[in-house]
Amino acid sequence: MKQVVKAPHTLDGEVSLPGDKSISHRAIILNGIARGDARVSNFAQSADCLATVACMRALGVEIESSKGGLVVKGVGDRGLKEAEDVLCAENSATTMRLLTGLLAAQPFLSVITGDRSLRSRPMDRVIQPLRLMGAQIWGRSSDSRAPLVIKGGQLHGISYTLPVPSAQLKSALLLAALFAQGDTVIREPIVSRDHTEKMLRATGAKIEVKGDTITISPSRLKAVDIIVPGDISSAAFWLVAGVIHNRANIRLSNVGINPTRSGIIDVLNSMGANLSVENERVVSGEPVADLRAQSSQLSGMEIRGELIPRVIDEIPLIALAASVAQGKTVIREAQELRVKETDRISATVKELLKLGADVQELPDGMVIQGRKKLRGAACESHGDHRLAMMLGVAALVAEGETEIDNAEAVNISYPRFWQDLKRLSAAKL
């Protein structure tokens, strides 16, 4: 699918965002192994999250569609069943990594695979600590790529320091630890998103978080209803669109602003963005607010260190914003981007150069010289949903037409993206 976008005269309107992907995955998995039924409202109907639903159904969890979301009928801590076929995580690394942790502790054999992109991504970061817990897991090649064969069994708790900030790794270990003998202690030198910890606490797990240390004991969970907030990673596209377009006023309601995820707001504010955060509240244990983004004059900045895990998914967007900002922006210590759906450092640089940006690739990031006028071009999403949407936002401020190939990649996380972009672009002030 090719998508052609022209820069509109104005951007104006309110966007109702899809549910948060990270929370949706966890709501299905944790309620699936809990006792009782739970309603998950505003569940993210994205390809990634639907892959998690399909896998949990294959493992014996009954999940029904309901108005505004899903109903999960938990099977308890020992109710999962061996799947009759190979589990498929499609393009979802979250599905594969979290379920690897869960399946390592189940008394049966499992095989899990994914699409071509996911099968190319290394899984040894998750498998190595699970093996320390006693798991038996095999994958392809030296870095354990899918398909993965998991022979579940009794695990034991460990003390483990995360080598890099990774919520997927942390969550896989926490899921395994629910079934292990003894306590598991996880240390995070740099804190990553904490949705799993919050939801485990809500479902009654024996979990304690003190500073950079998480301690979890074997636990039986109780199902809990969850209202999933709007996805901050989806909101980020409209926040950037609002601040880089010269006639924009975009409103976003019910957005999750968990501090471990909301780095995009901090970065844009530091760049001088005209953003407002309104009506802050807590919904299902997660901080939520309404956001407004308006036309702004941005300045470059340096992004590295503890800020990186909080903006890792938004770095291509930040690079775009930096391209039209005043001055230089430097992004470092973001090498994790090289093992996403694509090499997002290389792909971002390649596509922004096509649009006329002044951007230089670094081994762990990029340098962007700002105040460049973007021009329309023929671009490629590389099959990466975040690249496709970043290019869509870039097209809103580029001269002429921008053509984006493989634009259907947005279905992975935000199926309505092109419709929402068209509606905002049609506004008349």
Burial of 219: CB neighbours in 10 Å, binned 0-12, 13-18, 19+? middle
Which residues are within 8 A (CB) of 427 and not within 5 positions of it... i.e. 6 or more apart? 8, 10, 11, 12, 13
The helix (run of H) or strand (run of E) holding residue 207 is strand 207-210
Of the candidates 313, 343, 364, 384, the residue annotated as catalytic is 313
Q: How far apart (Å, rounded) are the C-alpha atoms in residues 162 and 250?
A: 38
Tokens of 175: 């899921």
b/e for 87-122, b at 16 or more Cβ within 10 A?
Answer: bbbbbbbbbbbbbbbbbbbbeeebbbbbbebbbebe
Tally of residues, the chain: 429
Tokens of 345: 């450092």
The answer to whether 264 touches 311, Cβ cutoff 8 Å, is yes
Closest by CA position to 141, among listed 163, 128, 122, 127: 122
Burial of 386: CB neighbours in 10 Å, binned 0-12, 13-18, 19+? buried
Which phi-psi region, left, alpha or beta, contains residue 343 (left: φ > 0; alpha: ψ -120 to 50)? beta
The answer to whether 202 touches 31, Cβ cutoff 8 Å, is no
Q: How far apart (Å, rounded) are the C-alpha atoms in residues 269 and 239?
A: 11
Tokens of 309: 């895990």
Sheet holding 328-331, edge to edge: 302-303, 328-331, 365-369, 358-362
Q: How far apart (Å, rounded) are the C-alpha atoms in residues 52 and 83?
A: 14
313 given a catalytic annotation: yes
Q: How far apart (Å, rounded) are the C-alpha atoms in residues 79 and 139?
A: 26
Residue positions annotated with a catalytic role = 313
